[in-house]
Amino acid sequence: MAGGDAELMTTPIRPTDDEARLLARRLLHDARHGALGVIDPASGAPMVSRVAVGHDGRDPLILISSLSRHWHGIVAHPSCSLMVGDPGPKGDPLTFPRLTLQAQAEPEEKAAWREIWLASHPKTALYFDFADFSLYRLRVSSAFLNGGFGRAYELTRDDLEFRAPA
Amino acid sequence: MAGGDAELMTTPIRPTDDEARLLARRLLHDARHGALGVIDPASGAPMVSRVAVGHDGRDPLILISSLSRHWHGIVAHPSCSLMVGDPGPKGDPLTFPRLTLQAQAEPEEKAAWREIWLASHPKTALYFDFADFSLYRLRVSSAFLNGGFGRAYELTRDDLEFRAPA
């Protein structure tokens, strides 16, 4: 096997182009929920759970309860991961695109983002104001886009074009 | 506030009943894909990605490529987490049930489970036999069921009623 082929086999990452950047931004923008990965402080093992995801053009927001396991996880270890992008109802789920963010979770002022959050998540008005619910902002360091079988891209924070913090 | 109420606020876990066990088994049985959480060996941070999930009545199987990041993750740290259970197309995604497994990933003999795997994932026949694809069995230690808002259960391995290993 030629050296070039061997390299291809061990490095399936494609060069990031505008199509990949656009797909990643669309997947994130459209996401209303995601799979959050945190370190379980009790065991040190990874733990995945579903969270609500919101957007204001900056790094994404999540709404979580302090009665939940993932809340204890990100308080102990703010490094976390969020996957967004649902597969369609038919076909191989692995052929649908998804985006994984690597991020640091930072507490956000809930009252300041109430209107923005409820605009995209009106049904969470039932519990948004509960004392145990908090908004966290996921400060993204990098992202991994799987655009479908064999279409993988490593993205930088800049590729996602977040607005600057207020 | 009475002591009982305070206890309720800090321990929202309900006692496991047959309805919860049945829901958990159904969610797992119906799952064809899931969100896998591993430790990224490069950073030590959690990392979430989508994997194909299969079943033979025993602990669940996943099909992953050694060219993927999650493969490197579980080889370095076999402790992992898998969330299954898709939200429906309408309504608050957080009201749909989902199940999180805590598990140890163990390599499985791919050829022995080929027919069982392809029966539920016929479209993966395109790449099942590729040399970089492996089956891993997720040996489950415990599970967490979120049956919808405020309906949380901690499940044991026994609650999931896996068949004994062959």
- pLDDT tens by residue, B97-132: 999 999 999 999 999 999 999 998 998 898 999 999
Tokens (6 digits) for A54: 């919101």
What does the pLDDT read at residue A148?
A: 83
B160 CA: distance to closest CA in chain A (Å): 18
User: Which positions 49-108 of A are in contact with B (Cβ < 8 Å)?
Assistant: 49-52, 67, 69, 79-83, 86-87, 91-95, 98, 100, 102
What does the pLDDT read at residue B3?
A: 37
Cβ contacts of B95 on chain A, cutoff 8 Å: 123
The more confidently predicted of residues A68 and B103 is: B103
> Within an 8 Å CB–CB cutoff, is residue A117 touching chain B?
no
pLDDT digits (tens, 9 = 90+) for A14-54: 999 999 999 999 999 999 999 999 999 999 999 999 999 99
H/E element holding A144? Answer: strand A133-146
Q: Which of B46, B48, B123 sits opposite A92 (nearest CB)?
A: B123
B95 CA: distance to closest CA in chain A (Å): 10
The more confidently predicted of residues A89 and A85 is: A85
B30 CA: distance to closest CA in chain A (Å): 13
Tell me the pLDDT band of B4, cut-offs 50, 70 and 90. very low
* Integer Cα distance of A95 and A117 in angstroms: 31
What does the pLDDT read at residue B1?
A: 35
Q: Which of B32, B47, B83 sits opposite A93 (nearest CB)?
A: B32
Mean pLDDT of A78-91: 93
Tokens (6 digits) for A4: 């070039």
Mean pLDDT of B147-163: 92
Tokens (6 digits) for A146: 């799987």
Handedness of CA A16, A23, B37, B116 (dihedral sign): negative
A163 CA: distance to closest CA in chain B (Å): 24
Preferred mutation among A48, A81, A146 to probe B, highest tally of B CBs within 10 A? A48
What does the pLDDT read at residue B12?
A: 81
* Integer Cα distance of B98 and B82 in angstroms: 10
Mean pLDDT of B139-147: 97
What does the pLDDT read at residue A166?
A: 63
When the pLDDT of each residue in chain B is averaged and rounded to a whole number, the result is 90
Mean pLDDT of B13-39: 96
What does the pLDDT read at residue A123?
A: 87
Q: Judging by beta carbons within 10 Å of its beta carbon (0-12, 13-18, 19+), is residue B99 exposed, middle or buried?
A: buried
ipTM at complex level: 0.92
* Integer Cα distance of B64 and B92 in angstroms: 31
Binary contact (A79, B45; C-beta < 8 A): yes
Tell me the pLDDT band of B54, cut-offs 50, 70 and 90. very high
